[in-house]
Each structure stands twice: as structure tokens, then as C-alpha cells.
Amino acid sequence: MLRNPPGAIRLPDPLAGNELLSLMARRRTNRQAGAPTITVRQLADCLFAGLGLTGETRNCVGSLPLGMTPSGGARNPYEAYVVARAVEGLDPGVYHYSALDHDLGRVAANHLPNLSELVGGQEWADDMPCLILLCARLERTMWKYDDANAYRVVLIEAGHIGQNIMLAATSHGLSACPTAALCHSPIKRLLGLDRVTDAPVYALTLSVPEMDGASRTIN
């Protein structure tokens, strides 16, 4: 990060009395679970923060949902899936989050994989209570934008969604660890995604952070 030369204008203290910025400043990636479980309420709030719906708009074809994060052309390309190992109030399993109904539907997976098998072999993930997988339906965004633009738009939106999930996690005293190291084929097989038009893009584990063990490995 670059410093300005002498004479730069000092700005007001950003954290003084600002609850939102103070919450944002507490967000931290932590790869060591300080408790074996999280609650379904905590998971639900993180999903809502990332993908929840709060409005509606129209285009030439019909109505489009508006959510907690902006979406290019309101095309909302992302679907979220949850691999739940240890979420109080939820049986271990694989679930799809429907933002339309704010509910979780079971995905018919024939086994519950170790989380590391989905995130590039990162072993710390195996102790995490759950993993949220953000998968893009590319054709939704490509309906409006041509391919290079659609690609950019879809990737940008993963960041918006991920950040909101992380901030909701922080507000619950959790850490959401983002990862882009995804094992595409195992994820697609697990979730029954299309080989060409569905793309796993980003994932986040959720856990109570282990305060002593801050950040074990930086990838």
C-alpha cells in the first residue's frame, strides 16, 4: 500500500462512534474453529445477508428480484449451497438455499464429503461446522451481457455476496473464511451442477473463531 507525500490531508477517525464501521473493522479470516458448532440462526442470517431478497423490479420480460447485494441487470446469477457438518438445528447434509423462500432444501447427495475435498485439500476446513458454496448460473447474466462482460459481472458479484456473508458472520461473533481454492468437479458432482453453464466461484466456511489461533495458514 502506498503513502502520500508530506502535506496530505488527514481525514477524521473512521471508527469513532460508528457502529457499522466498527463491525466491519472486526471482520477477520480465522481458520481454526473455537467451538464445534454454529447455530442454524447464525447460518440463516449469513445466507440472508448474502443472497436474501428485499425488493422487486421489472424488465421487458417480467419481474426480477432485488436482494441484499447489487446484481448486474438484476440477473442474480448466484445460487448458494450449504454443506452442513455441525449446525445446531440442522441435520448434517447438503442443502440448497432458496433466496425466494428463505429456506433450505435437501440436495440428494449420496455422501457427506470432508470439507477439504471441496476446497483444494485445505485440511483446516475439515473442522469447520459448515461451508457455503456460491455457484453461478452463467446463462442468467449472459442473457443480458455478452460473454466477456458477463464473466466480469459474475465475478464482481461474488465479492459483494461474500462480503455481506462475512459481515453477518462477524455480527454473530463468527469468522467466515473465504476461499477461491475450489475443487470444481467434486463440487459439481455433489450438487448435480451442469458441467458447462454452472460455475462454482467462491466459498466461505463459518465458525466460532479460535481467538489464540488467529490465522494458521495464508493462501
Under the rule (CB under 6 A), what is the footprint of ligand FMN? 28-29, 31, 122, 177-181, 217-219
**Taking the complex as a whole, how short is the minimal distance between the CB of residue 208 and ligand FMN, in angstroms?**
16
Q: Is 82 exposed, middle or buried (0-12, 13-18, 19+ CB in 10 A)?
A: buried
Interatomic CA distance for residues 118 and 83, integer angstroms: 10
Minimum CB distance to ligand FMN smaller for 40 or for 183: 183
As measured in angstroms, the least distance from the Cβ of 175 to ligand FMN is 8
Q: Is 210 exposed, middle or buried (0-12, 13-18, 19+ CB in 10 A)?
A: middle
Give the span between the Cα atoms of 134 and 47, in whole angstroms. 10
Closer by beta carbon to ligand FMN, 69 or else 122: 122
| β-pair type (38-39, 87-88) | parallel
Instruction: CB nearer to ligand FMN: give 21 or 181.
Output: 181
Nearer to ligand FMN, 104 or 203 (CB): 203
Minimum distance from CB of 215 to ligand FMN (Å)? Answer: 6
- Residue 25 neighbours by CB distance under 10 Å: 12
Nearest distance in Å: CB 115, ligand FMN = 12
